[in-house]
Amino acid sequence: MANSGAYTEEPENSTSEELTASSNYCTTTDKVDLECEVTFNKKRLTIVCISDTHSKLQLSDLSRIPPGDILLHAGDFTLRGSLREVHEFNILLGHLPHPVKIVIAGNHEDCLEVPSASLKLSRRLHLQKNYGVSEPHQILSNFIYLEDQSVIVSGLKIYGAPWSPLFYSTAFQLQRGEMLARKWRKIPDDVDILMTHCPPYGICDTNIQGQNCGCEALLHELQTRLKPKFHVFGHIHEGYGRMEHDGTQYINASMCTRKYKPDNPPVVFEIDNPAYKLRERVSVKGLASASNGINH
């Protein structure tokens, strides 16, 4: 059953003493690579992963989500894919303190898959009247929304894609094989953290019947070309958990169980902060140059 729409007040803006730049998010109106204006001044970053919350989280549940530097949500944040659910989710996430929040869609987010050019006038008028926007994705103002895009956060390249193998003709789903392979080939070789809604075939993707439900074409890219440090996904609720394979940590972060109860805790990991390491190298180089100047 969809959320009843309890979230009505606007969230306060988050702040962090460990940020060295503005925390304003970049907009995601075009399918281009983005650069977040947040840079962290610390050696290691804490990443909090959730997925498949399906409009089941309430304000009272947010205390279950641990603090961190970056929050990742790997899709299916609605149950019925309605604009109202999307709006409620946007406000809900605004209450979380994480300086950077990144979200992709899943197969439940029907209203986000409609191309802008296909929106009927009545839908545009509804969006403008009720949400003050002209397109559905513009409702998502409290986080970075990725759809076949990457964003650079403190030197980390994070790529997000909503696709999954066709099942009951829901949103962002394509036939197995070449149609999905074309989507996965868009993922850049140098991605550090990969976010997809579906898992790769054979990795944290087993359903209640014991079937592997992940994508073979995605697995092929990971075996032959891509080497992300972390791959975060959801979609198959029963596959919740994490495993390591060939240098990549795979995380199924589905919070909802098979019975759509948000009982699974968020998954947390740490990763080196490239921006901090770069600063250290520049600082050491500067000290060496100053020392050489003194010696001469």
pLDDT in tens, 195-235: 999 999 999 999 999 999 999 999 999 999 999 999 999 99
> Which residues, 6 or more positions from 33, have their beta carbon under 8 angstroms from its beta carbon?
149, 150, 151, 152
- Specify the pTM: 0.85
Return the closest-CA partner of residue 193 out of 90, 62, 92, 48.
Answer: 48
C-beta separation of 23 from 99 below 8 A: yes
Please calculate the CA angle 57-234-137 and round it to the nearest 5 degrees: 65
Rounded Cα distance between 58 and 80, Å, is 17
User: What integer is the mean pLDDT of 80-93?
Assistant: 96
Residues facing residue 156 across a β-bridge = 153
pLDDT of 5 strictly over 50: no
Q: How are beta strands 44-50 and 267-272 bridged, if at all?
A: antiparallel
Instruction: Quote the DSSP letter at residue 190.
Output: T
pLDDT of 10 strictly over 50: no
Residues facing residue 243 across a β-bridge = 250
Mean model confidence pLDDT for the chain: 87
pLDDT of 109 strictly over 70: yes
